[in-house]
Amino acid sequence: MERLDRLTRGLEAPYAVVDGAALAHNTTELVRRSGGVGVRVASKSVRVREIIARTLAQDGFGGVMSYSLAESVWLADHGVGDLLLAYPTADRTALADLVAKEHRLAAITLMVDSLDHLDLIDAAVGTDHPPIRLCLDIDSSLKLGPVHVGVRRSPVHDPDEAVALARAIAARPGFDLVGLMFYDAQVAGLQDSSPLVRLAKSRSVEDIVARRAAIVDGVRSVTDLQIVNAAGTGSLETMSADPYVTEVTAGSGLFMPTLFDSYDAFTATPAAFYALSVVRKPTPDIATLYSGGYAASGAAGKDRLPTPVWPRGLSLIGTEGAGEVQTPVRGRVARGLRVGDRVFMRHAKAGEMCERFDAVHLVGTDGTVETLPTYRGEGKNFG
């Protein structure tokens, strides 16, 4: 961290920094952990177009998992040829843009989980549109009687439901079902924090692997599948070992935010940070930083707050947390901080940090500092 501070000292805080050496290490680790299965880059966890492009250029990576259809259209117009939209869309303008250009239709696969999505598409662009590529989102949560372990996503959970919907899609003109997605949020996104969590994750893996085999076999009796997508940064080893899986997805593993600090299968190497300036000292052991209140999405809690990481030994104040215009930090090391000094923070999530900055400053192994625009810096906000 001292090196990142020294090489970026001329920048005005707040600013975002990416450690190029750590990023390169993480890129290699994602490929190693995927065990030879291709890795699709989750753009939501990066939001820097140049870093996405450089990652795709490396062996072991292929395609982008986007989070917005408007974003997908934009990336396709910039040459990305394989885009799997992770979530259903209701963006009628972006749907019109999709069908307006052949290269977009060829590159982009929409996510659906009901015929309602097809109805919306037909209503937005008419029923005589050219074929649109679709992927069916399969609920990968674990259901134990009335207990639901996982996130609330698709209503399609069982093999019979998946096959019935696949048949209904196949009967609709203008749509081509080419993929299935199985996102195991309760495995990929949950730290190994206790024996109970480990047990729930193990049971989830057993359930997903068994259901996926039946679902894939059933849907393949209806249509040819090009994509069986699974996993996230936290579950690459587990899901890539399933022969039914054709690709895995990862994005947070490039930056390694704090939510990935406690997994049994890997050790996080943080690559993304942001720097804040000390603007006052209310007491000798408290330093107040300008800005910094970049809380992560999800259920509100301390784990969604940023973490001061350098100088070491600082912590947020429980009664104030991280604020929009000021963030106080405390600790004995704060006694040595003066107005104008810098404190480096880590975000709880990956790409969300980039919504706060127009650029990230990529510090190379040779000491060069390269400024790369974020989506925001390119004038793009996809929600």
pLDDT in tens, 96-118: 999 999 999 999 999 999 999 99
353 DSSP assignment: G
Q: Give the mean pLDDT of the chain.
A: 95
Return the SS3 of 175: strand
118 shares a domain with 227: yes
Q: What is the pLDDT of residue 144?
A: 81
Split at pLDDT 50, 70, 90, the class of 142 is: confident
Q: Full-prediction pTM beyond 0.75?
A: yes
213 shares a domain with 72: yes
- CA 107/CA 109 separation, integer angstroms: 7
230 shares a domain with 362: no
- CA 16/CA 132 separation, integer angstroms: 38
Reported as a single tens digit per residue, the pLDDT across 290-335 is 999 899 998 888 989 999 999 999 999 999 999 999 999 999 999 9
HSE-up of residue 15 (Cα within 13 Å, Cβ side):
22
223 shares a domain with 85: yes
**What is the residue type of 30?**
L
Q: What is the pLDDT of residue 43?
A: 98
Split at pLDDT 50, 70, 90, the class of 150 is: confident
Q: What is the pLDDT of residue 27?
A: 98
Reported as a single tens digit per residue, the pLDDT across 8-39 is 999 999 999 999 999 999 999 999 999 999 99
Strand boundaries in 56-204, DSSP class E: 61-66, 83-85, 108-112, 132-138, 142-144, 147-149, 175-182
Please name every residue paired with 369 in a beta bridge, in sequence order, or none if there are none.
363
CATH for 362: 2.40.37.20
Q: What is the pLDDT of residue 269?
A: 96
Domain ranges, residue 208 = 67-250
Residue 205 inside a domain? The answer is: yes
User: What Rg, from alpha-carbon coordinates, does the chain have?
Assistant: 22
Return the SS3 of 367: coil
**What is the residue type of 247?**
E
239 shares a domain with 106: yes
**CA 79 distance to own-chain centroid:** 21
Report the percentage of the chain scoring pLDDT > 90.
89
CA nearest to 358, candidates 338, 343, 375, 346: 375
pLDDT at 354 over 90: yes
pLDDT at 342 over 90: yes
pLDDT at 147 over 90: no
Pairing of strands 272-283, 15-19: antiparallel
Q: What is the pLDDT of residue 188?
A: 82
Contacts of 106 by beta carbon, 8 Å cutoff, 6+ apart: 81
Mean pLDDT of all residues in 65-85: 98
Split at pLDDT 50, 70, 90, the class of 5 is: very high
Tell which wins on pLDDT, 43 or 1.
43
Residue 207 inside a domain? The answer is: yes
pLDDT at 185 over 90: no
Residue 225 inside a domain? The answer is: yes
In the block, tokens 């925001």 appear at: 376
355 DSSP assignment: G
pLDDT at 189 over 90: no
Q: What is the pLDDT of residue 101?
A: 98
233 shares a domain with 147: yes
Mean pLDDT of all residues in 168-189: 94
pLDDT at 247 over 90: yes
Q: What is the pLDDT of residue 193?
A: 86
- Among 250, 284, 303, the domain-final residue is 250
Q: What is the pLDDT of residue 146?
A: 83
Mean pLDDT of all residues in 126-140: 97
Q: What is the pLDDT of residue 35?
A: 96
Residue 238 inside a domain? The answer is: yes
132 shares a domain with 232: yes
330 DSSP assignment: E
Our count of domains for the chain comes to 2
pLDDT at 60 over 90: yes
Given a contact cutoff of 8 angstroms between Cβ atoms, the answer to whether 180 and 225 are in contact is: yes
- CA 310/CA 261 separation, integer angstroms: 16
Split at pLDDT 50, 70, 90, the class of 270 is: very high
